[in-house]
Chain A
């Protein structure tokens, strides 16, 4: 009986590890092929006679705009996160702790707009951003990204979970709302803020449609849509495309592996409370 259980357990563990490798297989291939000469792109993973080369990475890094794309992406991510955090923390505090007329209606309306995908509003967004003159600048990404309802809900839910005793004690001591927010809520919200920063980083880094629509000059582009330049320029040169993709993915994957805890917390809390 015990032995049979053990065999079962070993088989299960093995199957799970095989499934895990299958999930990673595309990325393993991506990295493996990024080091090959283009002539060997379609040879199997462990075939004999494979030559390894850094030529593809040299070609990607040697693109006159590659560093621009990286810098643009980092700037966009950092500036968006800063504006997003400030305005969302303020609003989340008001929505979770203060009583004012129309609170419920405003919040319900904001949540309802979440079901409208950016896909169906791409044309008016393009025309409008053109009219107000932010097309082809990083502002066309930063400004619309600043107010995301998802993060508002995330922070509201977190603030609601902070026990009332904390604020009551502070109110008796005569502390106003700015003090309560700055001295009590923000220091207690480390995990929620970490989740916001992490999610924002990943989403903005991977954003394709908006920069693809709103940025048309090559030196202002962000890294994800810029990958298409290797597809056009490289033609069928698979390894160069793979090298570009690897360089676009690696920062996000590394960040994720080290901060997984906050990521899982974020998904679980945003999910369960709907």
Chain B
């Protein structure tokens, strides 16, 4: 029993080395995730019951599923994610193709495209609320130059959510651009030379060389962008605060409001759990779709 094989020793050292990380992860990351499921089964729906552990079964979960504001916020989250993903995937690819061509000052131009990525959304929100101010901001001043009034942007019920999604996409652009650029640089140059000899134009090169080469990268980016699209609290809080009215109130804002303004901690926990399940299902479906596409 006590034989200390090289293998046994290796495994023991392995467990010792991963222990600090795993313990920190279990205590401060994993446990709170699971705790949320439990809170959803308890009755902590007022300030006095902050520590209550009365079991109420599925009451909170059912209440959430029957709540119209939850489904409204759910719809807003989906719309936000779709616009955010579409914008980032398209803009990331196009900008990467442009930045891959040689021109004077390319390095500096690339830096300019990356800077928004390292800035925080609260500061970005302050600036964009200024730029997009419907009556006094410089963006609508351009519209007035052409005699139009310009949209209400962040203060219009219709435009607020898409505008916020695009601004958040703008701020996240560098990640998609850098990833696409790295993949573009991996395309062997002789592919382009052959294409030039055969007289292929720019669009044909994109269609027959670039896109096939980039498909795995784009799928991977789509996965990451999808996951990031649900991390939207700061962008929405910084840009619209969920308004005007509730027109841009996404699930993360609803959770915050229900918990910290209305003190319905169990309801808010249940909302988080249900939305997490939705995210997991979407990811599963996407992974399925991806494997079907790849084995085509």
Chain A residues within 8 Å of B, Cβ to Cβ:
9, 12-13, 16-17, 19-21, 23-24, 26-27, 29-30, 33, 41-42, 44-45, 83, 86-88, 90-91, 93-95, 98-101, 103, 106, 110, 113-131, 143-144, 146-147, 149, 152, 177, 202, 205-206, 208-209, 213, 224-225, 227-228, 231, 238, 241-242, 245-246, 248-249, 252-253, 256-257, 260, 263-264, 267-268, 271-272, 274
Contact = CB atoms under 8 A, between A and B. Distances in A.
Contacts of B182: 267-268, 271-272
Contacts of A264: 114, 178
A246 to B, nearest CB: 8
Interface in B1-36: 7, 10-15, 17-18, 20-22, 24-25, 27-33, 35-36
Contacts of A271: 175, 178-179, 182, 217, 220-221, 224
12 contacts: A30-B126, A91-B20, A98-B17, A106-B18, A116-B33, A116-B279, A119-B272, A121-B272, A122-B233, A123-B272, A147-B29, A208-B120
Contacts of B220: 271-272, 274
A130 B39 CA distance: 14
A119 B255 contact: yes
How many B residues are at the interface, by size bracket? 35 or more
A267 B24 CA distance: 25
Contact of B10 (A99, A246, A257): A99
Given A98-B17, A252-B119, A125 B32 contact: yes
A86 B138 CA distance: 48
A24 B35 CA distance: 43
Contacts of A30: 123, 126-127
A192 B57 CA distance: 48
Nearest to B27: A143
Contacts of B280: 115
Contacts of A263: 114, 118
B187 to A, nearest CB: 13
Nearest to B173: A23
Contact of A29 (B130, B238, B279): B130
B213 interface: no
A245 B32 CA distance: 32
| Of B29, B30, B179, B183, most A-chain CB atoms within 10 Å | B29
| Of B12, B120, B133, most A-chain CB atoms within 10 Å | B120
B112 interface: yes
Contact of B18 (A41, A86, A94, A116): A94
A146 B39 CA distance: 25
B130 A147 contact: no
5 A-B pairs with the lowest CB-CB distances in the bound complex, closest first: A124-B36, A245-B123, A271-B179, A100-B14, A20-B112
- Chain B interface, >50% SS class: helix
B120 A206 contact: yes
A251 to B, nearest CB: 10
Contacts of B189: none
A143 B23 CA distance: 11
Given A24-B115, A272-B179, A88 B21 contact: yes
A26 B131 contact: yes
B138 A120 contact: no
A260 B238 contact: no
Contacts of B35: 124, 127-128
A13 B104 CA distance: 7
Interface string B98-136: 110101111011011111101111111011101101001
Given A16-B98, A123-B269, A144-B29, A272 B113 contact: no
A257 B127 CA distance: 21
B32 A128 contact: yes
A88 B105 CA distance: 38
